[in-house]
Amino acid sequence: MLVSTEIPGAAVAAAVETAAAAGVPCVLNPAPVIDVVAGLLRHGPVLTPNAGELADLARLAGLPPADARGPSRRVPVRRPW
């Protein structure tokens, strides 16, 4: 499933949660970054952020900005499938 945050946050949450519950891989494009994304990370969507969005996501997750810089291999990834 492909989900973008250009739709209402409740719809984003419903799509990601439904995909996770069904075991369907979900790609979440967090552009723009909205608050609901932080709560959805536990469902393991594949994220497609650019550098600025990654920094915003790190702040939402309570990580220091330095953790958001550099290669994506520094960001923990969890896939439920």
Give the pLDDT confidence score for residue 66 in this predicted structure. Answer: 58
- pTM of the predicted model over 0.85: no
Give the pLDDT confidence score for residue 4 in this predicted structure. Answer: 96
- What is the full DSSP assignment across 17-80? HHHHHHT---EEE-SS--THHHHHGGG-PEE---HHHHHHHHHHTT--GGGGSS-GGGS-----
Whole-number Å distance between alpha carbons of 20 and 1? 10
* Strands of the 2-4 sheet, one edge to the other: 2-4, 27-29, 46-47
**Domain parsing of the chain, residue ranges:** 2-70
Show the low-confidence residues of the chain (pLDDT under 50). Answer: 68
Give the pLDDT confidence score for residue 40 in this predicted structure. Answer: 92
